[in-house]
Amino acid sequence: MAGDLLPGENLILKVHQHWIFVAKSLLIPIALLLLTVVADILIGSGTHIRTPLTLAVVAIALLWLIVVWIRWQSITYTLTDQRIKLVSGIFSRQEKIIPIDRNQDCTTKQSLVGSAVFGQEALGFGDVKLVTFIGAVVGVYETAIVTALFLGVLFAGVISLLLVALRIRSMKDAIPYGPFLAAGALVVLYRLGSQ
């Protein structure tokens, strides 16, 4: 990237995708290797198929690891003080350059359990903003924010289970979390106001 810098431009950060993308892709080769170990134990040493089968599975797993590593290395994110540069591709390289002064929106997606369990986002950034606001409003009192969040989770869980049980919604449907957070905050504010 040093040769790609504009005059007066300074490199701030140059990274690849997070390691969790590599870890997700390693599940299949690890499962293959575990199945091979189990098959080796069950087949026994008397058969002639054991060694070629083991070598084939190990070769496939190693090839998979090489492909995953090459893909991971082929995607680069570069941040300078003037622009953001996204480079991807192995045989045909693609570049996307976004000037920082034209950047008007920042979209984030963070999900700890949602993507692993449901395959989709579990908590949006709007919910994070709402929790920040609730903390600013009720957080001056000892455990008010924790109580508000707990009540929001409780309300969301009960209503979501009812909606799924009554077949109004399915497990794949998104259910907005914000109203439940707001309801939890309103209950806490009502309790604080009555004290």
- Contact (Cβ atoms closer than 8 angstroms) between residue 6 and residue 78: no
pLDDT at 169: 84
Q: How far apart are CA 125 and CA 109, in angstroms?
A: 7
Over 60: is that where the pLDDT of 119 sits? Answer: no
pLDDT at 114 over 60: no
Residue 107's pLDDT band, with cuts at 50, 70 and 90, is low
Phi, psi of 25 (to 5 degrees): -75, -15
- pTM of the full structure: 0.47
Nearest C-alpha neighbor of 156 from the set 176, 170, 127 = 176
Q: What is the pLDDT of residue 155?
A: 92
- Contacts (Cβ under 8 Å, ≥6 apart) of 20: none
What pLDDT, on a 0 to 100 scale, did the predictor assign at position 102?
66
